[in-house]
Amino acid sequence: MSSQALENLKILFQDCPEVLRMLDLRELDQSNLTDQQLREEMKKRKLYPEPINFYATGRTGAGKTSLGNSLLGSGIMESTGRQDCTSGIQYFAMASNLRYFDLPGGGSNEEFENINRVALLIPQLEDEKEVNEFIVFDFSDHAATGQVSSQKVTVTEWQSVENQKYVSPDLILYVLAPHGQFLREDKKYLRALLKSQKARRGENRVIFALNIHRNRDGSLKPTPQNIEDARKGITEVYQEIYSGTPPIVKIDSLRGEGINQITELICEILPPEKIGNMRQVLREELKQFAEAERSRRYREALIYIASRLATYTVDTQFGNQSLLKEAYAAICSYGIKIFREEDVIAQAEKELADEVSKVAEESKQKRQKVITEKENITERREEKQTKITSVPEYDWEKITDTETDYIEIEQTRLVTDSIRRKNPVARFLFGEYKKQEVLKNETIMKPIKRTVERLEKRLVGMREEREEIGTGKYYDVVVGQRDKEVGKKALQGGYDVIEDLLAIGLGIELADAQKDLRTCFETIVKSGRVQVQMMISRYKEQINQLVESSPPDQAEDVIIRILEKVLIS
């Protein structure tokens, strides 16, 4: 793994100059820049839409130049404490695209007040020496070059339509130090200012700053009454020209206090397209802002890369490399370069190649779809023959029959018996036996008829009985179907690739910079993953659905929006 991976990844985003810009490390590597360099960087990058011309006006000594120095973060603009200190227009452009115009004050030196009036297109003081030209000092490049450029400008030039396009005030800050009271001269000047502004544009564009000076011991210079009087005086004049209450804030221009409230008012008064990020820039310390901005841009780049990879199948090749491996390596390299010290970078990148490949391999496995085919389930069976046998079929029939029973009966009857004659003569004459009737008792069997029922088995027909007999021959028969895995198909990266890629990216961003990347990489990715899951796991279904059923560029756009919503607050 090397920075090459990051360069390679850019090829994937040739169609997105915005992403290429994000991947340009110079855009993000601001860690070693000084505040001034940061300002310069921001100016170059035009983070903020339109320049805002912000004029400071008010009585001499009120604190206009001091406020400008506070904003600049230096004491470069002269503020001596002498009355009528500022004699020309002092100008500088801030990182936020706010251009500060510090004017000479009013209420003392008439010539200076006239310069002030000329700058704001207020009629000059009558009966005083008319101003025809003045000097504009530009402090914008002072911090970087030590140079202050100056230019003599005539009133005609300054007030020309062409020049006014660039310098006409978007907002005017009327600074008043209440301890010096709101005097008649101040009223006169303020009235003239508001009138000329009202004539130029209907709505009010003047903000009032009560600059509360402090004594050396820290106590406040103005009394509460002074402050109250100043508010009252300003409000009276304001209401002669506008309705409603004037926007008044309390500031301490030396300490830079109250700048936030001024910012708030600027943001309320100006149209949003003029303001851009100014609210944020002015509110935060520039360094802090730069860091937040760095994280935002880093995440934005991760989001773009993750959203695009989600729509590519996980087996996509990039040259002869796996796209996933290459992209994960690029993210790793990107994160290290942004969040790690110079000396760790090269070593870590080399040694992390395997770890990163492992994560890419895991992503790949997660997004494989098993391809199946229907397969027959067969059974081996023996061929059978049918043997048919005829089998008699019987039924039981009820039969009624008569049966003869015999009973014994005793009876007496006359029977002729042959009796042997006892007398031999008789025997001779009449035969040996003589017939003689005798009564004889005898037992006879008398038949009696009775009806009986019985079941008789009768043949009712013939039935065919079949019997399967094995033939010894076998054949295969299909008895069902089952799914058989025939291969795997790589799916689009979807949610899993997003999660893995962001786990690496956020892991590196959020890890303690002291933690050794090489030994803790797994843990770092793991805790990155926990963070990522908390933020995006609820979109898993939606993301997978998108990559599977929408055209890639549409899916990518929607995913970008989803991720931006949760990752960049």
Ligand X SMILES: Nc1nc2c(ncn2[C@@H]2O[C@H](COP(=O)(O)OP(=O)(O)OP(=O)(O)O)[C@@H](O)[C@H]2O)c(=O)[nH]1
CA dist 519 and 348 (Å) reads 10
Least separation in angstroms between CB 121 and Mg ion: 20
Residue with tokens 């990216």, as numbered in its chain: 505
Least separation in angstroms between CB 67 and Mg ion: 9
Task: Determine the angle formed by the axes of helices 552-567 and 286-309, rounding to 10 degrees.
Answer: 150
- Alpha helix locations (H) across 352-417? 353-366
Q: Pick what 252 binds: ligand X, Mg ion, none; C-beta below 5 to 8 Å, kind-dependent.
A: ligand X
186 contact partners, CB below 8 Å, separation of at least 6 = 58, 59, 106, 107, 176, 233
Identify the residue among 63, 169, 222, 258 touching ligand X (CB under 6 A).
63
Q: Pick what 291 binds: Mg ion, ligand X, none; C-beta below 5 to 8 Å, kind-dependent.
A: none
Question: Applying CB under 6 A, does 214 fall inside the site for ligand X?
Answer: yes
x/- track of binding to ligand X for residues 94-113 (CB under 6 A): ----------xx--------
Q: Residue 174 or 289: which CB sits closer to ligand X? A: 174
Q: Pick what 107 binds: ligand X, Mg ion, none; C-beta below 5 to 8 Å, kind-dependent.
A: none
At 149, give phi and psi (nearest 5°).
Answer: -95, 150
Least separation in angstroms between CB 186 and Mg ion: 16
Identify the residue among 8, 211, 311, 322 touching ligand X (CB under 6 A).
211
Q: How far is CA 377 from the centre of its chain?
A: 47
The helix or strand, by DSSP H or E, that contains position 372, with its residue range, turns out to be strand 368-420
Identify the residue among 8, 66, 97, 114 touching ligand X (CB under 6 A).
66
At 562, give phi and psi (nearest 5°).
Answer: -60, -50
Identify the residue among 9, 23, 76, 85 touching ligand X (CB under 6 A).
85
54 contact partners, CB below 8 Å, separation of at least 6 = 98, 99, 100, 101, 169, 170, 171, 172, 173, 266
Q: Pick what 194 binds: Mg ion, ligand X, none; C-beta below 5 to 8 Å, kind-dependent.
A: none
Q: Pick what 214 binds: ligand X, Mg ion, none; C-beta below 5 to 8 Å, kind-dependent.
A: ligand X
Chain residues 235-254 in contact with ligand X, contact rule CB under 6 A: 252-254
Question: Applying CB under 6 A, does 64 fall inside the site for ligand X?
Answer: yes
Nearest CA to 487 among 371, 324, 316? 371
Q: What is the DSSP letter of 391?
A: E
Q: Residue 77 or 305: which CB sits closer to ligand X? A: 77
Nearest CA to 193 among 123, 242, 261, 263? 123
Identify the residue among 1, 5, 61, 496 touching ligand X (CB under 6 A).
61
Handedness of CA 27, 31, 33, 36 (dihedral sign): positive
The stretch near ligand X (CB under 6 A) out of 36-44, 78-86, 260-268, 313-321 is 78-86
Q: How far is CA 391 from CA 384, 396, 465, 523, in A?
A: 21, 16, 6, 85
- Alpha helix locations (H) across 201-277? 224-241, 259-269, 272-275
The stretch near ligand X (CB under 6 A) out of 206-214, 319-327, 427-435, 502-510 is 206-214
Identify the residue among 53, 65, 295, 544 touching ligand X (CB under 6 A).
65
Question: Applying CB under 6 A, does 114 fall inside the site for ligand X?
Answer: no
Q: Pick what 211 binds: ligand X, Mg ion, none; C-beta below 5 to 8 Å, kind-dependent.
A: ligand X
Q: Are strands 89-93 and 133-138 parallel, antiparallel or unpaired?
A: parallel
CA dist 558 and 552 (Å) reads 10
Identify the residue among 5, 47, 62, 324 touching ligand X (CB under 6 A).
62
Degrees, nearest 5: CA angle 304-328-520: 125
Radius of gyration of the chain (CA): 58
Least separation in angstroms between CB 65 and Mg ion: 3
Question: Applying CB under 6 A, does 507 fall inside the site for ligand X?
Answer: no
Cβ(33)–Cβ(152) below 8 Å: no
Residue with tokens 């990715």, as numbered in its chain: 525
Identify the residue among 8, 53, 86, 333 touching ligand X (CB under 6 A).
86
The stretch near ligand X (CB under 6 A) out of 56-64, 187-195, 200-208, 472-480 is 56-64
- Alpha helix locations (H) across 320-412? 323-339, 342-351, 353-366
Query: Total residues contacting ligand X (rule CB under 6 A)?
Result: 21
Q: Pick what 117 binds: Mg ion, ligand X, none; C-beta below 5 to 8 Å, kind-dependent.
A: none
Cβ(56)–Cβ(99) below 8 Å: no
As a whole number of Å, the end-to-end CA separation of the chain is 31
Task: Determine the angle formed by the axes of helices 323-339 and 286-309, rounding to 10 degrees.
Answer: 180
Least separation in angstroms between CB 113 and Mg ion: 12
Give contact residues for Mg ion (rule: CB under 5 A): 64-65, 85-86
The stretch near ligand X (CB under 6 A) out of 62-70, 302-310, 504-512, 513-521 is 62-70
Least separation in angstroms between CB 58 and ligand X: 6
Residues β-bridged to residue 229: none
Q: Pick what 353 binds: ligand X, Mg ion, none; C-beta below 5 to 8 Å, kind-dependent.
A: none
Least separation in angstroms between CB 157 and ligand X: 23
Q: Pick what 60 binds: ligand X, Mg ion, none; C-beta below 5 to 8 Å, kind-dependent.
A: ligand X
SS3 track for 475-507: EEEEEEEEEEEEEEEECECHHHHHHHHHHHHHH
Q: Pick what 247 binds: ligand X, Mg ion, none; C-beta below 5 to 8 Å, kind-dependent.
A: none
The helix or strand, by DSSP H or E, that contains position 297, with its residue range, turns out to be helix 286-309
Q: Residue 75 or 487: which CB sits closer to ligand X? A: 75
Q: Residue 30 or 87: which CB sits closer to ligand X? A: 87
Question: Applying CB under 6 A, does 57 fall inside the site for ligand X?
Answer: no
Identify the residue among 9, 54, 55, 79 touching ligand X (CB under 6 A).
79
Q: Pick what 61 binds: ligand X, Mg ion, none; C-beta below 5 to 8 Å, kind-dependent.
A: ligand X
Binding site for ligand X (CB under 6 A): 60-66, 79, 81, 83-86, 104-105, 211, 213-214, 252-254
